[in-house]
Structure 1
C-alpha cells in the first residue's frame, strides 16, 4: 500500500505536475512525472522527502465500486515502483490518470501500462537534464 506521506493530495501539487511534468500515455493510463516540488511554494511539513504519487480516476471510468478498485490497483502498482531503484532517492511527483478502458482490464495489463509509461517519462526527464562536464 502507498503510505499517506507519499501521496500527492493538494490541488496545487496536481497543477504543478500537469504544468511542468512530462507525460506518457498508454491504452489504460496516462502518467505524468514532474522532476520535483513546486519551488515557488514552501513544502508542507506533513510531506516526507522522496517521490510522491497522486491518482485521478474520473466518473468516466465507472461507478464508485469500479473507480475504487482501479484506484487500489494503481496505488499498489505505483507503491511498488516508488520503492524501486529508478525513483528511490528522487523527489519526483507522479500523477497517474486512469482512462475509461482501465475498468475492464486485469491487474497485470494495468501494471504493464503504468510501468511502461513511467519509464518513458523518466527517460524524457533524463533527456531534459543538462549534462555535466566531468
Structure 2
C-alpha cells in the first residue's frame, strides 16, 4: 500500500513546531547530467502533492515539443537563437561541443576547470541572455 508523503512522515519532530502557508507552492529543479526535470509541490491538507511540469522546448525548425523531461543541452545558433532542451539535443552531433553546443557539464559546475571552452562562440557584448517564454515555458 503506497504511503502518502506528509510532514509527519518526513520530519515527525516538526509536527507541532512547523508553520507553513497552506497556499504555498514550491518549485524544484532536478538538474541532471543528461536530463533536467522541473516539478511543482503544493499542500493538499497535510499531504504534499508533487507534479512534474511539462515545459515547451523550441526545436531547430521552430516547432515546439512539450515534455516533462528536458535534455540538459544548450545550443547557440548565432544571433538571438538559443535552444535549450530537445531542440539542442537534436543538434548535439551537428554542432561542435564546447563551441556552440554544451552538454554533460553538470559535474564541472562550481569548479575552476580553466579554459575548457576556449573555442566557445562569444556572444556580442550587447546581447542579453534571456530565456524567453517562447524558449522555455
TM-score, structure 2 length as denominator?
0.23
Looking at secondary structure, tell me which structure has more helix per residue.
1
Where is the strand percentage greater, Structure 1 or Structure 2? 2
User: For the pair shown, which has the larger CA radius of gyration, 1 or 2?
Assistant: 2
- Answer 1 or 2: higher relative contact order, Cα 8 Å, separation at least 6: 1
